[in-house]
Amino acid sequence: MTVRLTMFCATTAEGGLGRVFGDGAVSDRRRRELAAMTATLPPYALALRGPSARCAQTAEALAIAATPEHALRDLDHGRWDGRTPEDIAAVDPHGLSVWLTDPDAAPHGGETVRELCRRTAAWLDTLPAGTGRILAITEASFIRAALVHALSVPARSFGHLQVPPASAVTLTLRDGCWSTRFDRLTVPRRRQTAEGVPTVAVPTTPTTRRRVCLTGRP
C-alpha cells in the first residue's frame, strides 16, 4: 500500500509579517509569487484544500481547482483568533508561554495541540491506497501536526517544527513506514545578462528526505 501526499503551506502576507492567529487574506504580491510557483509543484491526481479563505485564495493564485476538505482546517485558536502573538504576550504572557510548551494546554479556549495532532493523524489514516498523488493546500499547523504523526515524535515537538509559507512537504506511506521530503519552492526572479538582455531564472526545489518507521503515536 502506498500513499503519497504533498502538503503546500498556504500563505498570507509578506513572509508572514504581521502574523495573526486564525484566517487571513493573501496579499497581491503573494498572489503574483504563487502564480510563478505553479510550474514547480509536483504532479497530482487529486487536489484538496483547507476551508479557510487563505487556502482558497492560495489555490486560486496557483490556478488549482482544489476541493475543500474540512479535516485540513487550522488549529482552533479560540479567543486568540485574529490577534497577534505580540498582543497576546502583552496581556497574557503566562497563557502564551504555557500554550507554547504544553500540548495539552488551551488557555484560548479552543483546540489543544494534542487534539490537532490526533485529528490530523486520524485523517492521514483514512487516506485510501490507490488514490494516486494527492496535493493538499493547507495550514502550517496542520502540516506540523502531520509531521508529528509521520515522524512518530511527541506532540510537544510540534512547536519545534518549522513550516515556512509557500513551502511543500511530501509524505509517502509504504509498507507501514513514512518517508518525508521537504521542498522549498522558489519564485523565478528576473536577472540581466552581460548584454543587458533580461532573462528568467529557472525555479529550483531543494529537497531533504528522511525515512522513519511508525513505532508509536504522539
Which tens digit of pLDDT belongs to each residue from 74-95?
Answer: 999 999 999 999 999 999 999 9
The DSSP symbol for 134 reads: E
Side chain identity at residue 178, one-letter code? W
In this predicted structure, the answer to whether residue 195 has a pLDDT above a threshold of 70 is no
- Tally of CA atoms within 13 A in the half-sphere of 15 that contains its CB: 3
> Which residues partner with 2 through β-bridges?
174
Q: Are 109 and 79 in contact (CB under 8 A)?
A: yes
CA–CA distance, 107 with 173 (Å, rounded to integer): 35
**9-18, 85-94, 103-112: lowest mean pLDDT where?**
9-18
In this predicted structure, the answer to whether residue 43 has a pLDDT above a threshold of 60 is yes
Choose between 3 and 89: higher pLDDT.
89
Question: Which residues fall within 8 angstroms of residue 151, CB to CB, at 6 or more apart?
Answer: 157, 178, 180, 210, 212
In this predicted structure, the answer to whether residue 121 has a pLDDT above a threshold of 90 is yes
Choose between 117 and 189: higher pLDDT.
117
Q: Are 141 and 75 in contact (CB under 8 A)?
A: yes
User: In this predicted structure, what is the pLDDT of residue 187?
Assistant: 53
> What are the backbone dihedrals phi and psi of residue 52, each rounded to the nearest 5 degrees, phi first?
-75, 160
Rounded average pLDDT over 170-194: 69
**72-76, 117-121, 128-132, 188-192: lowest mean pLDDT where?**
188-192
User: Strands (DSSP E) along the chain, which ranges?
Assistant: 2-9, 46-49, 67-68, 133-138, 167-174, 177-184, 190-192, 198-200, 207-213
Give the DSSP letter string of 76-92.
Answer: --GGGTT--HHHHHHH-
Provide the pLDDT confidence category of residue 132 given band limits of 50, 70 and 90: confident
In this predicted structure, the answer to whether residue 214 has a pLDDT above a threshold of 50 is no
Q: What is the dihedral of CA 86, 88, 91, 92, to 10 degrees?
A: -120
The residue behind cell 513551502 is 167
What would the grid cell of residue 107 be? Answer: 488557555
153-164 tens-digit pLDDT: 999 999 999 888
CA–CA distance, 54 with 190 (Å, rounded to integer): 27
User: In this predicted structure, what is the pLDDT of residue 186?
Assistant: 55
Rounded average pLDDT over 4-15: 79
CA–CA distance, 93 with 111 (Å, rounded to integer): 19
Q: Are 39 and 166 in contact (CB under 8 A)?
A: no
> Which residues partner with 199 through β-bridges?
191
Helix (H, G, I), strand (E, B) or coil at 100: helix
